[in-house]
Amino acid sequence: YVLNGIKTFTSNGPVADTFVVFAFTDKSLGGKGLSAFIISKDNPGLKVGQHFYKMGIRASQTSEIILKDCRVPREDLLGKEGQGLQIAMSSFDHGRIGIAAQAVGITQAALDESISYSKQRIQFGKPISKNQAIQWMIADMATDIAAARFLYSYAAFLKDQKQPFTKEAAMAKVFAAEMSTRHTSKAVQIHGGYGYIKGQKVERLMRDAKITEIYEGTSEAQRMVIAGNLLR
């Protein structure tokens, strides 16, 4: 096989040793003409392109991957020709559980920081943790974290039991991602002006949270998956 094309957003692209690349072996078949290939970084037809400077998750490097007359031996076809879409969708189901867990971890860190800061920050002679407005934000944060944790744990349980879990993984991801974006913003609010300062942990957590609504399928895509499973 000879592959040509560019993958724009490739997580860990600059540091990966091996890539799984999806390409059309028969465009006339649409999704059924998509195949998957295993390609080593040492392949002369593969090179790393532009590095992207992201808003968050900066510990994960992201770049273009450029394929130019990239020759791939037939034995490096993953599965069979035409199975690429099936392989990709399966990997998304698995990955969405992980992203939900990531979102929960980010939000748990934001909650921990908010509890600690609210107990230390004194306003009008008392810690701001004594204010009902702060208490409600913390209570909502903790409740949503618990709910999201149960959602991804249930999806993971179904996966381990080899039962269908596509819908449950999508539910876990969309709920966890959106609650993470919402509550990390509340964590910045609890910290007030200090939370908006570069270098503060909650400022970074708010930036990191947003990507969970985007990669491994956007929140909008998750709702399509959920509805498609319920309405078929």
Catalytic residues: 216
What is the dihedral sign for C-alpha 27, 6, 55, 173? positive
Whether 66 and 45 have beta carbons less than 8 Å apart is answered as: no
Kindly report the number of other CB atoms within 10 A of residue 40's CB atom.
12
- Give start and end residues of each alpha helix (H) in 121-165: 132-160
Q: Which of 187, 102, 173, 97 is nearest to 142 (CA)?
A: 187
Whether 81 and 35 have beta carbons less than 8 Å apart is answered as: yes
Q: What residues are paired with 51 via a beta bridge?
A: 63
Kindly report the number of other CB atoms within 10 A of residue 23's CB atom.
20
Beta sheet of 18-24, edge-to-edge order: 18-24, 34-40, 77-78
Q: Which of 140, 145, 170, 144 is nearest to 155 (CA)?
A: 170
